[in-house]
Amino acid sequence: MSSARFGATRGCYTRCSRKSQKAREIPVQRDAPTDLAELSLADLEAWIVARGLPRFRARQIFAWVWKRGATSYDEMSDLGRHLRATLAAELPFTTPAIARQDLSEDGTRKLVLAFADRRQIECVYIPDTPSQTFCVSTQVGCAMGCAFCLTGKMGLVRHLTAGEIAAQVRVLARVTGLLDSAFNIVLMGMGEPLHNYDATMKALALLNDPHGLALPPKRVTLSTVGLVPMLDKLAAEPLMPNLAVSLHATTQEQRMAIVPPSGKYGLEAIIDACRRFPLAKRSRITFEYVMLDGVNDTVADARRLVRLLDGIKAKVNLIPLNAAPGIPFDRPSDSRVDAFARVLAERGMTVSVRRSRGRDIRAACGQLIVEGGRAKSAAQALAAAL
């Protein structure tokens, strides 16, 4: 994990701009040779046994990667030198390089990770929430184009593989010294996890394996704009994470301006999918609501939100906008946020106002971007005119 390998964030991305354009046209997972970091334990056992090696070696190697945070075969000290050389020759093992690290005054730490093809993403460690939390990306950029979000300005460059999604957790856990501690992960970094469904689910399975990090689904929260068919698919998953729906609006017209995919999956369809989503006892769906000054932050909006969520086991997380250059909205005043929250609370809803962490290093919600994104989308222009 060396920052020197890929250079500074901005320069690297600029040099790759032609490749990025091509990838945007066909935003599918890149072809790559099998990599140790992509293999489930069962796949690794099959690979080991097929080479005439004892099956237990697979568990040893898997634990080195996912429990002990190794980044090369050289660190696997209980494997013989000959075996390590054989593995290195036949099964690549890659870990994204840390291209940059920023530490916020509040302890939040943002990492820019560079993959073998030089694409970059950001992931974030948020301490003491009161838990330790890792915010993880699922795509390079994002196709959803939410009008308030810097990542949306990049467009989709490519999906991450399962190993690349899960690798963010092992890198963050190693850097923060939390490999042996309990932590949560939130799939709220760059990208829409349900747009990269299979890789996201495979990553959760890799992280859940008891021979590795053993991360239980209850410690994972998946945040989505609400891609309805994928929400229904998620509802049948054995490893079902907690669900957070990025709602941000209370009318279809308003939502289409803020969250462009709403044209395909309307507000009512998303709410219906939430109503049929199976919830464990005592669990709730979190509805995230980014508050944009003068756009969706009125008392009338709050009342509509109460009606919309009627009958759903819900909690509402209000997120006053993290204003940033290029984002055509302002942060509402504290008094507007308080008035909105009061309407919800008075009607018996569970509501919280998110205190964004890492704003000084652009690690807060909606602020993740790797430099070089494209210009304002049509939806952003429309939203700006509201």
Instruction: Output the smallest distance, CB 245 to ligand SF4, in A.
Output: 11
Considering only residues 6, 66, 119, 152, which one is a binding residue for ligand SF4 as defined by CB under 6 A? 152
Packing angle of the helix pair 56-66, 41-50 (nearest 10 deg): 140
Instruction: Output the smallest distance, CB 194 to ligand SF4, in A.
Output: 9
Instruction: Output the smallest distance, CB 64 to ligand SF4, in A.
Output: 32
Instruction: Output the smallest distance, CB 365 to ligand SF4, in A.
Output: 8
Where do we find the tokens 């932590």?
183
Q: Phi-psi category of 205—alpha, beta or left, where left has phi over 0 and alpha has psi -120 to 50? A: alpha
Instruction: Output the smallest distance, CB 132 to ligand SF4, in A.
Output: 22
Assess contact for 302 and 331: CB atoms under 8 A: no
Give yes or no for residue 151 binding ligand SF4 (CB under 6 A).
yes
Beta strands in the chain (DSSP E): 97-103, 109-114, 120-126, 133-135, 139-141, 156-159, 184-187, 220-224, 242-246, 285-291, 314-320, 350-353
Q: Catalytic positions, please?
A: 122, 365
**Candidate ranges 142-150, 158-166, 266-274, 299-307; the one touching ligand SF4 (CB under 6 A):** 142-150
Instruction: Give the separation between CA 101 and CA 61, rounded to whole angstroms.
Output: 28
Instruction: Give the separation between CA 105 and CA 117, rounded to whole angstroms.
Output: 32
Q: Does 130 sit behind a cis peptide bond, omega within 30 degrees of 0 on the bond before it?
A: yes
For 84, the token pair is 């390590």
Assess contact for 288 and 244: CB atoms under 8 A: yes
**Candidate ranges 43-51, 140-148, 348-356, 370-378; the one touching ligand SF4 (CB under 6 A):** 140-148
Phi, psi (5° rounding) for residue 180? -100, 10
Q: Hey, which residues between 248 and 267 contact ligand SF4 (CB under 6 A)?
A: none
Give yes or no for residue 142 binding ligand SF4 (CB under 6 A).
yes
Instruction: Output the smallest distance, CB 107 to ligand SF4, in A.
Output: 23
**Candidate ranges 4-12, 112-120, 137-145, 160-168; the one touching ligand SF4 (CB under 6 A):** 137-145
**Candidate ranges 80-88, 105-113, 186-194, 320-328; the one touching ligand SF4 (CB under 6 A):** 186-194
Considering only residues 144, 162, 171, 305, which one is a binding residue for ligand SF4 as defined by CB under 6 A? 144
**Candidate ranges 42-50, 79-87, 143-151, 263-271; the one touching ligand SF4 (CB under 6 A):** 143-151
Closer of 36 and 256 to ligand SF4 (Cβ): 256
Binding mask 92-131 for ligand SF4 (x = CB under 6 A): ----------------------------------------
Considering only residues 136, 160, 225, 308, which one is a binding residue for ligand SF4 as defined by CB under 6 A? 225
Instruction: Give the separation between CA 14 and CA 17, rounded to whole angstroms.
Output: 5
Packing angle of the helix pair 56-66, 162-176 (nearest 10 deg): 60
At position 192, the amino acid (one-letter code) is E
Q: Hey, which residues between 192 and 221 contact ligand SF4 (CB under 6 A)?
A: 192
Assess contact for 97 and 5: CB atoms under 8 A: yes
Distances (CA, A) of 318 to 32, 151, 288, 375: 40, 20, 6, 27
Instruction: Output the smallest distance, CB 53 to ligand SF4, in A.
Output: 42
Closer of 36 and 149 to ligand SF4 (Cβ): 149
- Measuring CA to CA, which residue among 175, 181, 66, 160 is closest to residue 124? 175
Instruction: Output the smallest distance, CB 4 to ligand SF4, in A.
Output: 29
Q: Is 199 exposed, middle or buried (0-12, 13-18, 19+ CB in 10 A)?
A: buried
**Candidate ranges 17-25, 138-146, 309-317, 343-351; the one touching ligand SF4 (CB under 6 A):** 138-146
At position 157, the amino acid (one-letter code) is V
Where do we find the tokens 């796949």?
43
Number of residues that bind ligand SF4 (CB under 6 A): 12
Considering only residues 146, 234, 314, 383, which one is a binding residue for ligand SF4 as defined by CB under 6 A? 146
At position 338, the amino acid (one-letter code) is D
Binding mask 338-367 for ligand SF4 (x = CB under 6 A): ----------------------------x-
Q: Count CA atoms within 13 Å of residue 295 on its CB side.
A: 29
Site residues (vs ligand SF4, CB under 6 A): 142, 144-146, 149, 151-152, 190-192, 225, 366
